[in-house]
Amino acid sequence: MTLDLELNESEVLLRNAALDFLRRDTPKLVVQGLLDTDTGTTDELWQKAADMGWLGIIIPQEYGGSGYPLTSAGVLFEALGTAPLPGPHFSSTILGSLVVLHAGNEGQKLELLPALARGEETLALAMTEPNYGWDPASIETTATSSGGEFALNGTKTFTMDALAASKLIVVARTASGSEQDAGISLFLVDRESEGVSVRRLPGFLSGRTFEVELDGVKVPRSTLLGQENMGWAPLQQAITEATPILCTYKAGGCQAVIEMTLNYSRIRVQFGQAIGRFQRVQDMIIDMVTHSDAAKWASYEALWKLDTGQPAIESVHTAKVLASQGYWEVVTLGHQVFSGVGYSRESPISFHTRTSRSLHHYLGEPSHHRQELARMLVSPEVSAV
Amino acid sequence: MNFSIELTPEQKNFGKEVSAWLDENWPADMEPIRDAQKMTREQFQVRRKFAQKLGAKGWLFPGHPQEYGGGGLGHLTPVIQEELASRGESLPIVTDWTNLAAPAILARGTEEQKKRFLPPMLTGNSMTWQLMTEPDTGTDVANQQTNALRSSRDGEYFVINGSKTFVGGIHPPPDQFYLLTRSDLEAPRHENLSSFIMPANLPGITIQPLDLFPLSTMAAAYGPTGATMEAIKNSVFFDDVRVHESYLLGEEGEGWQVTMATFAVEHGGGANIIRNRMSERFFDQCRNNPHITTRLRENPHLLDKLVDVYLYTQTERLLSIRNAGGKGGGYGGPHFAMFSKVFGSKYGADLAEVLGPYAFIDEGEERLDDGIFEVGQRNSIAKAPGGTPEAMKIQIARALQIGR
């Protein structure tokens, strides 16, 4: 059989380099500090990431990137998820690059992608709104054309990594059609443009989630990413390809939590023995492993399908349900094993607590993807599993 | 990475050979089995003959060594399995525990025992039951109460007394038992056991079928032989049964080590990639059976159950792929088998919700498919065969070194 789950040589190098980076440049205390910042990173760390080639990992070589397949990016993000390394790595490097790749015209790609790879520009997707959802019906922000420019009006709530971004990809309605996904356009908006205000949403578990107000923001026609009214399809394609990489990041988080929980189960003594000797504690850790493995292999299978040009949408939805739910459950169970010491801000499990929650809804919470799966499962056209 | 379970060109060529042979040699009078309790002795014999034909080609136990009657085919084994699966059958065609006894014989048997027992076993010419469970010995396997004690009269014989239960299968007797006993009343736990591979027809042996409702593990979902493997059980009584010491498997007192060689296989979940045929049929019903599509349309809560079944099936398949993926897949162990069992009950409940009372009706095509879901409902309560999930979790906890 052709089945082969091992990393190839370049993936092993990527993984080792990432784990070395985390040990050397972002030990526990640094991660703890970064989690509280507005950007999740520093100029120095971001430059280092650019030097390592991470910021252009999936950008094709003709646009200044290293052109790795999505699976390799998944391997990198699985390693980064163990810290978990904060910053707009996913939002900009993966999701942002993919939106530009799928939606942008040649000139935009030539201008923007090399700058992303060098770390000179950073992107964030301003899509969801107070009426939260990842479907086209939830997009109510408008872009009204007059003369050679557009005026953007609306509120982009739950925008991840907005303050780390130099440019926002704003999803807006340019026309109302009978089809809800028609008439949606994408704009590249400088975050510091007049009329843009960004506010970090408070909450220990909210992560770097922002509300972006667009109050009559005037942008020239040249900021239109790709074609007017045709933004939805390339956006969906980008989200589909990006999602399983977010999932490997979560799977990496699961593995780190399991590792630290296993260690704690060996050293914490109660009733005269290591708590890991108690079968109820063992049950929890075994459940954690089930969640973690399901998340990991579902993600890599989806990436393999995408990289080899196979229909992947079912696998992508499956991966997001299993990874979001899995990371959440692994952290919850880990806390049960750690008990008191897990609630300390400097305890690394708390980094994962915050991350598993703040990324839970990103690109759709489990119920969103379950709904998509349900649609496919009752539709007679789709082939059997 | 590559998740493809497609066959290599070499495997595909071999597949053509297997397919042609199967077409030519398929018994016209062999009926497909869905429910083992309905298998007549005549059908049992038809199946045994077919198993022997496969055995003569080395295709009954294709992965086992050729010198002892196996096929020595290694990576070609899945090809035979797939060809049989596409015809609704699976190895080894009839109830048998050679898959558990043979590894123990290979690991611990003498050369004489290997030459004597393995060739007929691996070619389907003799059948083997594994005798481990007793009325007071379930998960605590080491707590053997069946005694095999050296005869005081002629010391080269053991005298066996005691009983085994929930063992064997349909249409007894088999040819031999793979038996675990207590051979030393003084020695400490785990050092007091001995295993035997011995004839099943000695004086003093009584086999009594149990009156069980037809229970089988979820394995039945994957192929009809799964159902025959687990559905029928017996008690076996030993009254002063005299067994020569040449039937000892492993040294006297090494029964626990022999048993571990079997557990490695039995609880390992193997490296077979799971195709859950019951789920495939279920999804097909949800798309195409008007009774079921109407139910799904009218009650959105059922969609949730449908998605649960889908995610369960995907997770199960991914865990089996992980186990089959070798070094890259990481830790396997009984984790996959444990997952199947634990979630089997929720799975059964979800199927019953979506299918409605059709789920319990054992009737043909006018109803739901061929009644496989009724079998599935019985399956979903079966936790014990092959070890309870709790016993498996003990093994997993050790493998993960939780608390140690």
Write the pLDDT tens digit of every residue in B266-284: 554 445 666 677 888 889 8
Buried residues in B192-227 as b, exposed as e (16+ CB within 10 A): bbbbbbbebeeeebebeeeeeebbbbbbbbbbbbbb
Determine which of B76, B311, B350, B396 to mutate to test the interface with A (most A C-beta atoms within 10 Å).
B311
Identify all chain A residues contacting B2, using CB atoms and an 8 Å cutoff. 2-4, 304
Kindly report the nearest CA distance between residue A70 and chain B, in angstroms: 11
For residue A380, what pLDDT is reported? 64
For residue B226, what pLDDT is reported? 43
Between B351 and A76, where is the model more confident?
Answer: A76
Is there a contact between A4 and B325 if contact means CB atoms under 8 Å apart? yes
For strand A142-146 and strand A149-160, is the pairing parallel, antiparallel, or unpaired? antiparallel
Asked if pLDDT for residue B85 goes beyond 90, the answer is no
Is there a contact between A281 and B329 if contact means CB atoms under 8 Å apart? no
For residue A379, what pLDDT is reported? 83
For residues B32 and B290, give the distance between their C-alpha atoms in angstroms, rounded to a whole number.
Answer: 27
CB distance from A3 to chain B under 8 Å?
A: yes
Identify all chain B residues contacting A4, using CB atoms and an 8 Å cutoff. 1-2, 325-326, 328
- With bands split at pLDDT 50, 70 and 90, how would you rate the model's confidence at B202? very high
Mean pLDDT of chain B: 86
Residue pLDDT tens, chain A, 385 long = 678 899 999 999 999 999 999 999 999 999 999 999 999 999 999 999 999 999 999 999 999 999 999 999 999 999 999 999 999 999 999 999 999 999 999 999 999 999 999 999 999 999 999 999 999 999 999 999 998 899 999 999 999 999 999 999 999 999 887 677 789 999 999 999 999 999 999 999 999 999 999 999 999 999 999 999 999 999 999 999 999 999 999 999 999 999 999 999 999 999 999 999 999 999 999 999 999 999 999 999 999 999 999 999 999 999 999 999 999 999 999 999 999 999 998 999 999 999 999 999 999 999 999 999 999 999 865 544 4
For residues B310 and B302, give the distance between their C-alpha atoms in angstroms, rounded to a whole number.
Answer: 12
Is there a contact between B8 and A305 if contact means CB atoms under 8 Å apart? no
| Nearest chain B alpha carbon to A370 | B307
Sequence-distant (≥ 6) Cβ neighbours of residue A22 within 8 angstroms: A79, A80, A82, A83, A85
For residues A275 and A337, give the distance between their C-alpha atoms in angstroms, rounded to a whole number.
Answer: 8
Scan for tokens 């005869």, then name that residue: B151
Of A3, A265, A370, the CB nearest to B307: A370
| Nearest chain A alpha carbon to B300 | A374
For residue B163, the surrounding DSSP H or E stretch is strand B157-167
Is there a contact between A283 and B393 if contact means CB atoms under 8 Å apart? yes
Identify all chain A residues contacting B394, using CB atoms and an 8 Å cutoff. 279, 282
Which pair of structure tokens corresponds to residue B375?
């079998």
Checking ipTM against 0.90, whether it exceeds it is yes
Between A75 and B137, where is the model more confident?
Answer: A75
Identify all chain A residues contacting B401, using CB atoms and an 8 Å cutoff. 262, 266
Is there a contact between B402 and A281 if contact means CB atoms under 8 Å apart? yes
For residue A383, what pLDDT is reported? 46
A142 pairs with which residues across the strands?
Answer: A153, A173
For residue B380, what pLDDT is reported? 75
- With bands split at pLDDT 50, 70 and 90, how would you rate the model's confidence at B367? low
DSSP result, B327-376: GGG---TTHHHHHHHHHHHHHHHHHHHHHGGGGG----TTSSTTSHHHHH
For residues B165 and A196, give the distance between their C-alpha atoms in angstroms, rounded to a whole number.
Answer: 76
Note which residues in 319-338 of chain B have CB less than 8 A from chain A.
319, 321-322, 324-331, 335, 338
CB distance from B396 to chain A under 8 Å?
A: yes
Note which residues in 140-159 of chain A have CB less than 8 A from chain B.
none
| 3-class secondary-structure state, position A205 | coil
For residues B87 and B21, give the distance between their C-alpha atoms in angstroms, rounded to a whole number.
Answer: 13
Of A278, A293, A303, the CB nearest to B319: A293
CB distance from A268 to chain B under 8 Å?
A: no
CB distance from A251 to chain B under 8 Å?
A: no
Torsional class of A271: left (φ above 0), alpha (ψ -120 to 50), beta (otherwise): left
Identify all chain B residues contacting A298, using CB atoms and an 8 Å cutoff. 314-315, 318
For residue B8, what pLDDT is reported? 85
CB distance from B152 to chain A under 8 Å?
A: no
For residues A162 and A189, give the distance between their C-alpha atoms in angstroms, rounded to a whole number.
Answer: 11
Q: Give the residue-averaged pLDDT of B113-123.
A: 96
Sequence-distant (≥ 6) Cβ neighbours of residue B325 within 8 angstroms: A3, A4, A5, A6
Asked if pLDDT for residue B230 goes beyond 60, the answer is no
State residue B342 phi and psi, 5-degree precision. Answer: -60, -45
Question: Taking CB atoms and an 8 Å cut-off, how many pairs form between chains A and B?
Answer: 166
Most confident of B33-37, B180-184, B259-263: B180-184
B150 pairs with which residues across the strands?
Answer: B158
Q: Which of A230, A239, A134 is nearest to A184 (CA)?
A: A230
CB distance from A297 to chain B under 8 Å?
A: yes
Round the CA-based radius of gyration of chain B to a whole number and report it: 22
Q: Which of A162, A163, A164, A182 is nearest to A174 (CA)?
A: A182
Note which residues in 3-22 of chain B have CB less than 8 A from chain A.
3-8, 11
Q: Percent of chain B at pLDDT above 90? A: 51
CB distance from B293 to chain A under 8 Å?
A: yes
Q: Give the residue-averaged pLDDT of B198-221.
A: 78
Q: Which of B208, B358, B215 is nearest to B281 (CA)?
A: B358
A230 pairs with which residues across the strands?
Answer: A184
Is there a contact between A294 and B313 if contact means CB atoms under 8 Å apart? no
Is there a contact between A275 and B329 if contact means CB atoms under 8 Å apart? no
Q: Rounded to whole angstroms, what are the CA distances from A128 to A124, A135, A156? A: 12, 9, 6
| Nearest chain A alpha carbon to B77 | A1
Decide if B115 contacts B367 (C-beta within 8 A).
no
Of A2, A283, A305, the CB nearest to B8: A2
Is there a contact between A374 and B304 if contact means CB atoms under 8 Å apart? yes
Torsional class of A307: left (φ above 0), alpha (ψ -120 to 50), beta (otherwise): alpha
Note which residues in 337-356 of chain B have CB less than 8 A from chain A.
338-339
Ranges A3-7, B174-178, B238-242, B333-337: which has the least confidence: B333-337
CB distance from A274 to chain B under 8 Å?
A: yes
| 3-class secondary-structure state, position A227 | coil
Determine which of A278, A286, A370 to mutate to test the interface with B (most B C-beta atoms within 10 Å).
A286
User: CA torsion angle for B222, B226, B232, B236 (degrees, to 10)?
Assistant: -140
Buried residues in A39-56 as b, exposed as e (16+ CB within 10 A): bbbeeebbebbbeebbbb
For residue B331, what pLDDT is reported? 66
Instruction: Provide the CB-side half-sphere exposure for B215 (13 A, CA).
Output: 13
Identify all chain B residues contacting A329, using CB atoms and an 8 Å cutoff. none
Cα A90 from chain centroid (whole Å): 5
Is there a contact between A289 and B331 if contact means CB atoms under 8 Å apart? yes
Sequence letter at residue B215: L
Long-range contacts, stretch B62-67, CB < 8 angstroms, 24+ apart: B62/B91, B64/B102, B64/B106, B64/B118, B64/B122, B65/B106
User: CA torsion angle for B348, B353, B354, B356 (degrees, to 10)?
Assistant: 110
Sequence letter at residue A275: I
